[in-house]
Amino acid sequence: MSSFIELHPDNPQPRLLDRIVQILKSDGLIAYPTDSGYALACALGNKTGLDRIRAIRQVGDKHDFTLVCAEFAQLGQLVWIDNSAFRTIKHLTPGPYTFIVEGRKEIPRVMLNPKKKTVGVRIPKHTIALAIVEAMGEPIMSSSLILPGNDQPESEGWKVQDELGHLLDAVVDGPVSSTEPTSVIDMTVTPPSITRKGAGDYQLFEN
């Protein structure tokens, strides 16, 4: 059974954040709250963690994962973002958006779309999610916790613990801002296109 870690929604406890970081850096898999429901996450390059996420969500090897960061400076040399895309992303973040961008060779190949070599990136507007990424000091690999047969992410930590605790290393308990999935915007095309209409003002990208 996974650890159940209750974080303060406004001032996450440093000692508990350190515990979460150690779990992630030890190739663990966590569930954590965001501004668009619960998500699953593991450390960058943790292939086993990605396989565990695929198994829980029952998705294939073409499933798109997301790099969650506290600021885009954390992405370093992992992705390619041109000036126009950078300005758009900076204007809309933090917020409930996932932006599809081109991955560089430095990014773990297991994270990339196998055909397009792209990856999702996002900065959530959520204190706990940002605190975890800041404590890690690098992006985490993430995917919305949408269980098979559902169209919305899980929203309550105790329920995630009851249903999936045996498959996870930790469940981070905290409130979610919304249960509506992020809007997904493909920034690799001109003009950017909407891949999924969700939370946020996606009308900015409608022609």
DSSP conformation letters of the chain:
--EEEE--SSS--HHHHHHHHHHHHTT--EEEEEBTEEEEEEETT-HHHHHHHHHHHT--TTPPPEEE-SSGGGGTTSEE--HHHHHHHHHH-SSSEEEEEEEPTTS-GGGS-TTT-EEEEE--S-HHHHHHHHHHTS-EEEEE---TT-SS----HHHHHHHHGGG-SEEEE---S-SSPBEEEETTSSS-EEEE--BS-GGGG--
Q: Are 61 and 115 in contact (CB under 8 A)?
A: no
Give residue 197's pLDDT. Answer: 85
pLDDT of residue 117: 84
- Predicted pLDDT at 55: 94
The model carries a pTM of 0.92
Domains, the chain, ranges and CATH? 3-205 (3.90.870.10)
How do residues 119-129 score in pLDDT, each as one tens digit? 899 999 999 99
Q: Per this entry, what is the length of the chain?
A: 207
d(CA 78, CA 67): 10
Please give the pLDDT value at position 18: 97
CB 20 within 8 A of CB 168: no
Q: What does the pLDDT profile of the chain (207 residues) look like in tens digits?
A: 789 999 999 999 999 999 999 999 999 999 999 999 999 999 998 999 999 999 999 987 777 789 999 988 887 778 888 888 888 888 889 999 999 999 888 777 777 777 788 889 999 999 999 999 999 999 999 999 999 988 889 999 999 999 999 999 999 999 999 888 888 999 988 888 898 888 887 777 776
Instruction: Kindly report, residue by residue over 52-68, the tens digit of the pLDDT.
Output: 999 999 987 777 789 99
Q: Supply 130's token pair.
A: 């940002």
According to DSSP, the β-strands at 97-103 and 170-173 are unpaired
According to the model, what pLDDT value does residue 201 have? 78
pLDDT at 29: 98
